[in-house]
């Protein structure tokens, strides 16, 4: 029997959080004595929903975290109204997320907060040596080297939840197996310990002379193409928020849905892959796959390509991150095989989706570029949703903000946080000069 995990779900009221709660409930039904347990749930604004999720969990989470410190009274009232007083303790404010992420009784943290707001708690979980199921890709985009260095020193396992990166992690199983069958002396000097760390973190050392994951040529991320895959440049320029929020294959939170429409999501995922798998940008490719069944592919040196397939349902990558290296029955439906499968792979169009080029560029230069791109994008998306800028201005603002910043290749975390603030201010200033008319 696979031992259950004691899990903190950060961002429990979101799309990833809700799917995680469902996965854990299913694992509990499947193996009632294994000890699967949600230790804490966090939410920011939808307090009633958060408290209801705690009420539905069994056993009840020990802690309900409300990260917005303004919502203490509302949270207390909801906890009382749902009969949870005395069962769940309330912790509030941004620091409460860090306390939940580092709770000694928690062994696994699901990082399901959207955007930069998830950075401190995700990093704290990594520093505390937890297994981290990473949905919050923005943390790696902002501070990839800081997070991966922290994982190496704490022994934290970074298990991707993003479906593409989970797919790559799964496709790399063969390379990972090969690496672990080689002795330290075969691999060369000093590689024994780094191999163990790389294995633990699922990272492959493409750039180093000691290929911890031998034989891998390229990582190929699939992109659905979003709602504008077949739209003209003019149609994309005139896209409304409602059109951009209408994703053809995935049901997700608002921000990532807009990121999917601009393909900024794929740009962020290129950067995420670079840090997660320790791979240079020129070893990453993107291919459009509208059906969202092939979640990504790995090409090996002999030309063989291994892919991971499943219907678009986040419960599978979430569960994989929780149960790795074991596989257990999952509530996500399997592939329907009684009907014709259409699976197409289409080259990306960088002209209609300029955000993608930014992802490759930022992955190439690293350093401060990721935080600047992310800050500008997190500023531009709400401006588009509130009608202040056009859809195509999102990538335009991001590009200009990147061009306006003085790149540094090895920034500290403090410097990255300064640039997070700067990039938001700069993107907002630039937006003022744009007319939506
Ligand atoms: P969502 O909008 O549905 O949920 C966001 C969660 O973050 C909520 O629980 C909310 O309370 C919390 N949150 C928002 N602002 C906060 C703040 N300032 N402080 C603390 N908590 C805050 O988002 P989602 O779609 O679940 O995405 C979450 C993360 O997972 C994102 O980084 C996204 O890119 C990534 N991801 C999502 C999917 C998906 O299918 N939804 C797939 C891959 C990756
Ligand atoms: Mg993804």
Q: Is 312 in the pocket of ligand 1 (CB under 6 A)?
A: no
Q: Is 318 in the pocket of ligand 1 (CB under 6 A)?
A: no
**Residue with CA nearest ligand 1 atom 27:** 114
Q: Is 137 in the pocket of ligand 1 (CB under 6 A)?
A: yes
Q: Is 250 in the pocket of ligand 1 (CB under 6 A)?
A: yes
For 347-356, what is the mean pLDDT? Answer: 97
Per-residue pLDDT tens over the stretch 384-417: 999 999 999 999 999 999 999 999 999 999 999 9
Confidence of residue 195 (pLDDT cuts 50, 70, 90): very low
293 φ, ψ to 5°?
-110, -40
What is the pLDDT, as a whole number, of residue 177?
74
pLDDT higher than threshold 80 for residue 18 = yes
Q: Tell me what the pLDDT averaged over the chain comes to.
A: 92
- Return the closest-CA partner of residue 396 out of 369, 433, 345: 433
Q: Which DSSP symbol is given to 88? A: S
CA 232 from chain center: how many Å?
29
pLDDT higher than threshold 70 for residue 59 = yes
Per-residue pLDDT tens over the stretch 90-132: 999 999 999 999 999 999 999 999 999 999 999 999 999 999 9
Report how far ligand 2's centroid is from the alpha carbon of 112 (Å): 13
**Residue with CA nearest ligand 1 atom 39:** 252
Distance CA 334, CA 37 (A): 25
159 φ, ψ to 5°?
-105, 115
Strand extents, DSSP E, 281-387: 284-288, 294-300, 305-309, 346-347
What is the pLDDT, as a whole number, of residue 181?
61
Distance CA 202, CA 303 (A): 22
Confidence of residue 249 (pLDDT cuts 50, 70, 90): confident
Q: Is 411 in the pocket of ligand 1 (CB under 6 A)?
A: no
What is the pLDDT, as a whole number, of residue 92?
98
Q: List the shell of residues around ion ligand 2, using CB closer than 5 Å.
A: 162-164
For 50-59, what is the mean pLDDT? Answer: 97
Confidence of residue 370 (pLDDT cuts 50, 70, 90): very high
What is the pLDDT, as a whole number, of residue 180?
64
| Beta carbons within 10 angstroms of residue 298's beta carbon | 27
Q: Which DSSP symbol is given to 266? A: H
- Return the closest-CA partner of residue 41 out of 91, 85, 95, 114: 91
What is the pLDDT, as a whole number, of residue 207?
45
Distance CA 350, CA 206 (A): 26
What does the H/E/C string look like for 174-195? HHHHHHHHCCHHHHCCCHHHHH
| Beta carbons within 10 angstroms of residue 70's beta carbon | 10
What is the pLDDT, as a whole number, of residue 412?
97
- Return the closest-CA partner of residue 291 out of 342, 238, 327: 342
Percent of the chain's residues with pLDDT above 70: 91
CA 77 from chain center: how many Å?
33
Strand extents, DSSP E, 28-157: 37-43, 63-66, 89-92, 108-111, 131-134
Which bound ligand lies closest to the C-alpha atom of 312? Answer: 1
| Beta carbons within 10 angstroms of residue 160's beta carbon | 27
Ligand 1 nearest atom to the CA of residue 115, by list position: 32
pLDDT higher than threshold 60 for residue 197 = no
Confidence of residue 193 (pLDDT cuts 50, 70, 90): very low
Assigned token pair, 425 = 């201010």
Q: Is 253 in the pocket of ligand 1 (CB under 6 A)?
A: yes
For 161-189, what is the mean pLDDT? Answer: 73
Report how far ligand 1's centroid is from the alpha carbon of 10 (Å): 9
pLDDT higher than threshold 50 for residue 40 = yes
pLDDT higher than threshold 70 for residue 176 = yes
What is the pLDDT, as a whole number, of residue 179?
66
Strand extents, DSSP E, 117-192: 131-134, 158-160
What is the pLDDT, as a whole number, of residue 203?
52
What is the pLDDT, as a whole number, of residue 174?
73
Ligand 1, pocket-test mutation among 8, 16, 111, 161, most atoms within 8 A of CB: 16
39 φ, ψ to 5°?
-85, -35
Distances (CA, A) of 334 to 54, 313, 330, 341, 342: 28, 10, 9, 13, 16
In the block, residue with structure tokens 């994989």 = 320
For 271-279, what is the mean pLDDT? Answer: 95
Ligand 1, pocket-test mutation among 71, 91, 113, most atoms within 8 A of CB: 113
Q: Against a cut of 0.85, is the pTM above it?
A: yes
Ligand 1 nearest atom to the CA of residue 256, by list position: 34
For 49-57, what is the mean pLDDT? Answer: 97
In the block, residue with structure tokens 């708690």 = 121
**Residue with CA nearest ligand 1 atom 18:** 117
Per-residue pLDDT tens over the stretch 291-319: 999 999 999 999 999 999 999 999 999 99
Report how far ligand 1's centroid is from the alpha carbon of 58 (Å): 23
What is the pLDDT, as a whole number, of residue 173?
83
């Amino acid at each position: 029997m696979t031992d259950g995990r004691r899990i903190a779900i950060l961002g429990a009221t979101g799309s990833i959080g809700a799917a995680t709660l469902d996965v854990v409930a299913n694992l509990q039904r499947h193996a009632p004595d294994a000890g699967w347990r949600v230790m804490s749930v966090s939410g920011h604004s939808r307090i009633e929903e958060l408290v209801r999720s705690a009420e539905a969990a069994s056993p009840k989470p020990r802690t309900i975290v409300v990260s917005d410190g303004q919502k203490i009274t509302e949270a207390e009232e909801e906890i009382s109204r749902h009969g949870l007083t005395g069962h769940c303790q309330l912790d509030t404010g941004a620091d409460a997320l860090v306390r939940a992420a580092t709770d000694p009784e928690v062994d696994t943290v699901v990082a399901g907060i959207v955007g930069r707001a998830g950075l401190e708690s995700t990093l704290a979980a990594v520093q505390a040596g937890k297994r981290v199921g990473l949905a919050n890709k923005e943390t790696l985009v902002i501070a990839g080297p800081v997070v991966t260095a922290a994982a190496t020193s704490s022994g934290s396992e970074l298990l991707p939840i993003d479906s593409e990166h989970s797919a790559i992690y799964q496709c790399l199983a063969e390379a990972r197996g090969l690496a672990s069958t080689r002795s330290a002396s075969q691999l060369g000097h000093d590689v024994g310990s780094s191999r163990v760390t790389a294995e633990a973190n699922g990272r492959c050392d493409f750039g180093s002379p000691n290929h911890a994951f031998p034989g891998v040529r390229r990582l190929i991320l699939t992109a659905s193409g979003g709602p504008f895959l077949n739209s003209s440049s003019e149609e994309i320029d005139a896209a409304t928020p409602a059109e951009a929020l209408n994703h053809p294959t995935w049901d997700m939170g608002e921000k990532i849905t807009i990121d999917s429409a601009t393909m900024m999501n794929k740009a962020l995922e290129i950067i995420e892959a670079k840090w997660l798998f320790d791979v240079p940008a020129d070893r990453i490719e993107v291919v459009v796959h509208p059906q969202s069944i092939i979640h990504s592919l790995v090409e090996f040196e002999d030309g063989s390509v291994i892919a991971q397939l499943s219907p678009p349902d986040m419960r599978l990558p979430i569960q994989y991150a929780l149960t790795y290296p074991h596989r257990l029955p999952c509530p996500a439906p399997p592939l329907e095989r009684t009907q014709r499968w259409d699976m197409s792979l289409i080259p990306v169009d960088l002209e209609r989706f300029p955000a993608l080029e930014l992802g490759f560029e930022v992955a190439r230069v690293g350093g401060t570029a990721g935080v600047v791109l992310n800050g500008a994008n997190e500023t531009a998306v709400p401006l588009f949703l509130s009608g202040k800028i056009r859809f195509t201005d999102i990538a335009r603002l991001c590009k200009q903000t990147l061009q306006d910043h003085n790149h540094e290749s090895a920034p500290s975390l403090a410097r990255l946080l300064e640039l997070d603030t700067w990039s938001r201010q700069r993107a907002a200033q630039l937006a003022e000069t744009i007319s939506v008319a």
